Amino acid sequence: MTTVRLGAVAYLNARPLVEGLDRDPARFVLRFDPPSRCAALLAGGEIDVGMIPSIEFARAADYRIVPGVSLASRGPVASVAVFSRRPIEDVRTIAADASSRTSVALLRVLCAKRFGIAPRLETMAPDPEGMLARADAALVIGDPALFLDHRAAGLEKIDLGEAWTAMTGLPFVYAAWTGRPAAADRCLVQALQQAQSDGVAATEAIAAEYGAGNPVRAARAAAYLRDNVKYGLGADEAAGLQTFLDLASEMGLAPRRPTLEFF
């Protein structure tokens, strides 16, 4: 049996997509990294299949997507957001977390197409306090965005998943398992689809483990996995992903306008 090198995103929302894969080390070598690192590892051939940010599909003509599996939202996602000290229409500078190029591209698309602003973006480490000391607003993603109490901090939270669906009527796909044509056979595709099914059924247990004895944190994690993150890649998700890639290409945020291709 050939061992497959898998690269997953090191956030809570990705955990249901890898349920059970670590229990078969002879078949899978699984590592966790920030989204941008997953993309770099796949591009460099250091992993076989990676859970890469969706903007990265435009960077290689031979990428294929595992069908039926993705990390998406339809409406508020809670973990990809702009935190601002002023109304979004008055924002002139945004500090952006560089760990996901997709979130940055989504922000640029929404600024141009929905918010009607053209802010200057400055890449910074994901530290909301430091980011807001340098800019009018901060793009924060992943667990830091999910658990930031914006009301207590006196900030407005603009959920980018909610803004995308309000603008397009479609889901937004943040990441999906991706590789080159020879990287996945039917057995691997089925294993990744099964991991997603098992993970969706186990979100309460995943949240409890993530909470590590903190019931408030565990409850927030469970609600997030249940109500905000959507798993799967059907016709609507594919349409949302293609729309995003088309807009990103139109705005010069992607090197090419790809047509989605699957294993």
Q: Tokens 């929905």 sit at which residue?
A: 114
Structure tokens at 157: 């939270």
Q: Is 121 exposed, middle or buried (0-12, 13-18, 19+ CB in 10 A)?
A: middle
pTM score of the predicted model: 0.94
Residue 43 — very low, low, confident or very high, per pLDDT cuts 50/70/90? very high
Q: What is the pLDDT of residue 150?
A: 95
Q: Tokens 């306090």 sit at which residue?
A: 129
pLDDT one-digit tens code per residue, 113-130: 999 999 999 999 888 999
Q: Any idea which of 46-50, 122-126, 137-141 has the lowest mean pLDDT?
A: 122-126
Distance CA 73, CA 156 (A): 20
Residue 50, in any domain of the structure: yes
Residue 231, in any domain of the structure: yes
Residue 227, in any domain of the structure: yes
Residue 143: CB partners within 8 Å, gap ≥ 6? 11, 12, 79
Residue 259, in any domain of the structure: no
Distance CA 242, CA 258 (A): 8
Q: How many CB atoms lie within 10 A of CB 10?
A: 18
Share of the chain above pLDDT 70, in %: 100
Q: What is the pLDDT of residue 1?
A: 61
Distance CA 263, CA 238 (A): 14
Q: What is the pLDDT of residue 99?
A: 77
Residue (of 145, 62, 154) closest to 96 by Cα position: 145
Distance CA 82, CA 88 (A): 9
Whether the CB-CB separation of 246 and 257 falls below 8 Å is answered with yes
Shared domain check, 177 and 62: yes
Q: Pick the residue with more confidence: 204 or 97?
A: 204
pLDDT one-digit tens code per residue, 52-72: 999 999 988 899 999 999 999
Find the domain containing 164 and state its range: 80-168
Q: How many CB atoms lie within 10 A of CB 222?
A: 18
Residue 243 has pLDDT above 80, yes or no: yes
Q: Is 32 exposed, middle or buried (0-12, 13-18, 19+ CB in 10 A)?
A: middle
Residue 132: CB partners within 8 Å, gap ≥ 6? 83, 85, 95, 138, 155
Residue 66, in any domain of the structure: yes
Shared domain check, 60 and 42: yes
Residue 141, in any domain of the structure: yes
Shared domain check, 180 and 164: no
Q: Count the domains in the chain.
A: 2
Across the chain, mean pLDDT equals 95
Q: What is the pLDDT of residue 158?
A: 98
pLDDT one-digit tens code per residue, 145-174: 999 999 999 999 999 999 999 999 999 999
Residue 261, in any domain of the structure: no
Whether the CB-CB separation of 191 and 184 falls below 8 Å is answered with no
Residue 112, in any domain of the structure: yes
Q: Which helix (H) or strand (E) holds 29?
A: strand 28-33
pLDDT one-digit tens code per residue, 171-230: 999 999 999 999 999 999 999 999 999 999 999 999 999 999 899 999 999 999 999 999
Q: Given strand 93-97, what is the order of strands in its sheet? A: 120-124, 93-97, 137-141, 80-84, 156-159
Q: Tokens 């956030």 sit at which residue?
A: 11
pLDDT one-digit tens code per residue, 71-93: 999 999 999 999 999 999 999 99
DSSP string, 189-212: HHHHHHHHHHHHHTHHHHHHHHHT
CA atoms within 13 A on the CB side of 65: 27
Domain at 184, CATH number: 3.40.190.10
Residue 100 — very low, low, confident or very high, per pLDDT cuts 50/70/90? confident
Residue 41 has pLDDT above 70, yes or no: yes
